[in-house]
Amino acid sequence: MGPADGKGAVETVEAAPAKINLALHVTGQREDGYHLLDMLVTFTEAGDVIRIRHADEDSFSISGRFASDLLQSGASNNLVLKARDLLRSHARQRDIATTPVAIQLEKNLPVASGIGGGSADAAAALRGLIHHWQLDIGDEDLSGIALTLGADVPMCLASKPLIAQGIGEELTLLTQFPQLALVLVNPLKGVSTPQIFRLLAHKQNEPLPAPPDDEGESWLPTMDGLRNDLQLPAISLLPEINDVLAMLRSEGADLARMSGSGATCFGIFSSLQKAEAAAARLRERKPGWYVQETMSIAGRVL
């Protein structure tokens, strides 16, 4: 049976892992205003979920802890719908029919929080719809669609440890990158990414160093010497970010840093058990915050 007969899987489920910027170095700015970045990125088992079912007509629904925040910003503009429409248009140009779909987004990640929620959702929609519609699409075409949706979408499409350069489209997968025990914390207060970049004092900073020769555990001490160039301007806008970092360190994090443009911060712990214990204590201290213990997705080939 082909994709046009609508008899595919009863439900296609696709994870949208949180994207964690373990380091973000701003190395320059293009004439069109886009900033040049060097980013060390990993993804976590925590994230949103996309569910796709065959339907008589297209529909889109949002559930989960942060559904109301997303609905307030306007569901009709959601990147998931843009991903669906771009992929369908690509198929139509090649005379491939695509059936109507009911898409549900389970929104577990805070909105606009520096951990790639919207981009991860769009990438998961692309992966899920390609499977659901049984499309055969080349890597170059898929990368082009992803980049049209946003600079972070190509890396979220990969959802594996990587270094991203340029505006985020130049990807180098790190197949030996270690799995990390993490606690993610967000005070659920927003910060403006454009304003953070405007406050950035220096835009010609040192790039990431070359990956360790053996990768593996050598990354852990290497990460300590890296940085997020957006962290200080973000703290100037939202001092609570500094409080989050201090709390993570006080709970035993080996490294605490802001992810992306914030306000989510992460702490790296020596084991999942320690991360779980720290997260439990942080939830007691700050019951209104987003606190999530998780493991990163390993790059290591087992």
pLDDT of 130 reads: 97
pLDDT of 5 reads: 46
- Would you call 69 a catalytic residue per the annotation? no
**pLDDT(184) > 70:** yes
Residue 160 backbone phi and psi in degrees, to 5: -135, 160
Can you say whether the dihedral through the CA atoms of 297, 45, 50, 264 is positive or negative? Answer: negative
- pLDDT of 78-90, one tens digit each? 999 999 999 999 9
* Single-letter amino acid, residue 58: D
Tell me the pLDDT band of 217, cut-offs 50, 70 and 90.
Answer: low
Please identify which of the residues 19, 82, 160, 274 carries the catalytic annotation: 19
Contact 267, 253 (CB under 8 A): yes
Burial of 94 (0-12, 13-18, 19+ CB in 10 A): exposed
Please identify which of the residues 38, 48, 121, 152 carries the catalytic annotation: 152
Contact 292, 57 (CB under 8 A): no
**pLDDT(8) > 50:** no
Q: What is the mean pLDDT of residues 39-48?
A: 97
Judged by DSSP in three states, 292 sits in strand
Looking only at the bridges linking them, the beta strands covering 290-295 and 59-63 are unpaired
In angstroms, the first-to-last Cα distance of the chain is 35
Tell me the pLDDT band of 3, cut-offs 50, 70 and 90.
Answer: very low
Eight-class DSSP state of 212: P
Q: What is the largest CA-CA distance in the chain?
A: 58
Burial of 248 (0-12, 13-18, 19+ CB in 10 A): buried
Tell me the pLDDT band of 33, cut-offs 50, 70 and 90.
Answer: confident
pLDDT of 76 reads: 67
Judged by DSSP in three states, 189 sits in coil
> Among 193-207, 234-248, 274-288, where is mean pLDDT lowest?
193-207
- Would you call 214 a catalytic residue per the annotation? no
pTM, two decimal places: 0.92
Judged by DSSP in three states, 45 sits in strand
Across the strands, what pairs with 265?
A: 185, 258
